[in-house]
Amino acid sequence: MRITAILGRGGMAEVFRAEDPLLGRPVAVKLIRPEHAGDPQIRARFLREGRILSAFQNDHVIHIHRVGEADGVPYIVMELLEGSSLDSWMIRQRKPVTYTTTCKIARDVLRGLAAIHAKGIIHRDIKPSNLWIDRQSSKVRVLDLGMARQSSGEESITQNGTLGTPAYMSPEQSEGDELDSRSDLFSLGVVLYQLLAGCNPFQKENSLASITALATEEPTLLHFCRPDIPAELESLIHSLLSKDREKRPADARLAFNAIAAVEKKVRQGRREGEHSSGQLADSQKSPVPVAEPLTPTGVLAPERSDTDSDLLHSQETEVFPPQPKYPFLEAAINPDDLGSLDGHRVISLLGRGAMGYVFRGIDKNLGRAVAIKVIRPDAASEPAARRRFLRESRLLASLKSEHVVTIYQAGETSLVPYLVMECLDGAPLDVWLKRQGKRVAPAVAIKVAKDTLRGLIAIHQSQMVHRDIKPANLWVEKDASRIKVLDFGLTRGPTSEDRSTLSGGILGTPAYMAPEQAAGKVADARSDLFSLGIVVYEMLAGANPFARESAVASMNAVAHDVLPSLSLVRKDLPSGLVRLVESLLAKMPAERPESASSALDAFLSIDLLGKRNVHLDELLPTSTPTSKSDSKAGPSVKGSGPKVARPEEEPASIHQAYVQKKGILKEKPVPDWLKVGIITFSVIFSLFLMAVLLRKWLG
């Protein structure tokens, strides 16, 4: 392969013009930049792009010829496109774009997205620099699928735009939520708005400001800057930009149809004499200057009949062919099952997350109920995600603790790896807490903390850090006698190469991260103790003290906000418990307990339960606490659990505790007799003063 010129350079790779020696044709060759060639995550993303592109034969997605490796450097050979990226073209126009041109661009991109989504893939980085205008055909092509996948990946949000470019991300993408095809539609909506208005509505001075704008700001209505565009087009673009994904078009097909409907209406208006021009064009008196079309003959010149006659309307041209709900499952053994996996019966879905699914199943050999965890097929094709899943299997298999979920078997099919675990009856702690009400008794929080710490001791003794301790990853067994630690997908061992903090979300949950974890620093065992401190605080106060409206705001709160003492939130807590939780939540790791064992000893020293292993249900109050005038005792409690009297008055929320801490709230109101005395004294003193002044004036 003879390289003749460099075409472009990005943060991860460089693209060169080259000559294919076998076929004698010009090609584009994409190479990882030398400084990144040894990075396994970048190599994995680069090769993933090659695999994804090779699956497409679509006029609106760039074609790939082959993928290879030379001298340890992987490369991708692609078709050589003549033309320019959309962002370069927009700069040359120096003006907003006609709405007809915008519709043409939208249709072409939606055709490419329809093909991408039909493969179960999400692009995750639709922006002008990833859209190419082919000079020869005037078609717009979708480029750069290096970050594409069905669900959130592993990359961090950085100023270089990994995981997506902040000003073009969907709100759910910036929050780290699970993504679907509507995330790409939001990004396309930003591009279309920018074409028409001449500016990106969410572009701010830095990435954090852009992400905040995505979450909180609504773009200015287009008709204020472009009164010439059809109302239907404006409505469609603003629906694409809806913060709520449910209000966007359901898929690329419906968005394409809406664009086609706008064009059809304009063509009908032209035939009825609403437009004097022989071509489909914008209003003759546009209030703002507009750019020239993409081609001299106009961007909406007639194409093949199947293109302009609602290509994606009919069932015969369905873009998304029917597919099994879980394509990685094999034929069901029983007719009522979802399917089977490597001989195990798969009965029902228990839950799903960014990395995979968890099913209830039946062990093929022993016939017992099990939980089967399966990595998502698109993630299974990514080496880094597959390694993380297999690492979880190995970590779980190495742990021996009654407070850590037990793994029975790990396996792999031709499509996905999986692991078979014990099937736990009960509920995650977050669900269990919602059933109980806002706050729990101190004894409940202490029991949860002790059991969690026993699990963490086993984890930390194996030189591992969990990195995602939160109520959803703590399981309350059905008999409520034991807590188990779940979900080791983010666990980091002493030789782990995983340096990322955020995942399509986020590697770790922002409102439960330790400050050093949120800052991207190395997490150690004390990071898990900080996360446990948040869980205990939340159980006692009734709310997570760091939960904010966005992931970025939560991480800022973790790093900087000083919490009010639990003694201000409620006054029935043992002082030792308050001090222990405050030490767990110290911003500096050195100020926390040095290990899970020492934290457990501290909780045991204030244990309200003694040595007996009790059920959590025994600790729950059976009636509402009464005031002293009604009862001499505190709330009645099942079993032999402790009776804890609630204070007569306590702040209703963490916020109120902040206010009380600043001295704005008074614990006791001013007595009525004191109010009457003050008023009486004021009246008598005023009469005396008037009498003195009157006598002086008369004398």
Catalytic residues: 125
In angstroms, what CA-CA distances link 374 with 66, 323, 350, 361, 377? 31, 18, 12, 12, 9
The token pair that represents 384 in the structure block: 């880094």
Q: What percentage of the chain's residues is helix, strand, coil (to nearest 5)?
A: 40, 15, 45
DSSP-based three-state secondary structure for 361: strand
Residue 509, judged by CB atoms within 10 A of its CB (0-12, 13-18, 19+), counts as: buried
Round to whole Å and give the CA distance between 592 and 392: 27
Q: The sheet that has 131-134: what strands, in order across it?
A: 83-85, 131-134, 140-142
Task: Please identify which residue in the block is written with the tokens 């990195």.
Answer: 467
Contact present, 510 and 518 (Cβ < 8 Å): yes
CB neighbourhood size of 252 (10 A): 26
C-alpha–C-alpha distance, residues 63 and 57, integer Å: 7
Beta-carbon count within 10 A of 268 CB: 10
**CA distance linking residue 242 with residue 244, whole number of Å:** 5
Q: Tell me how crowded residue 341 is: count the other CB atoms within 10 A of its CB.
A: 23
> What count of Cα atoms within 13 Å lies in the side-chain half-sphere of residue 563?
28
Helix (H, G, I), strand (E, B) or coil at 472: helix
Question: What do you get for the CA distance between the two ends of the chain, in Å?
Answer: 118
What type of residue sits at position 159?
Q
Smallest CA-to-CA distance from 428 within 467, 385, 364, 474 is with 474
Q: Which of 462, 501, 504 is nearest to 485 (CA)?
A: 462
Q: In what helix (H) or strand (E) does residue 77 lie, and over which residues does it extend?
A: strand 73-79
Q: Rounded CA gap, 488 and 687, in Å?
A: 79
Query: Which backbone phi and psi does 16 adopt, to 5 degrees?
Result: -120, 150
Write the single-letter amino acid at 192.
L
Please write down the long-range contacts of 496-501, taking CB distance under 8 Å and 24 or more positions apart.
Answer: 496/391, 497/40, 497/41, 498/154, 498/384, 498/388, 500/41, 500/154, 500/155, 500/156, 501/156
Rounded to whole angstroms, the Cα distance separating 79 from 17 reads 10
Residue ranges with strand state E in 297-445? 339-341, 344-352, 356-362, 369-375, 407-412, 417-422, 426-428
Distance, CA of 110 to CA of 515 (rounded, Å): 41
Q: Are 244 and 299 in contact (CB under 8 A)?
A: no
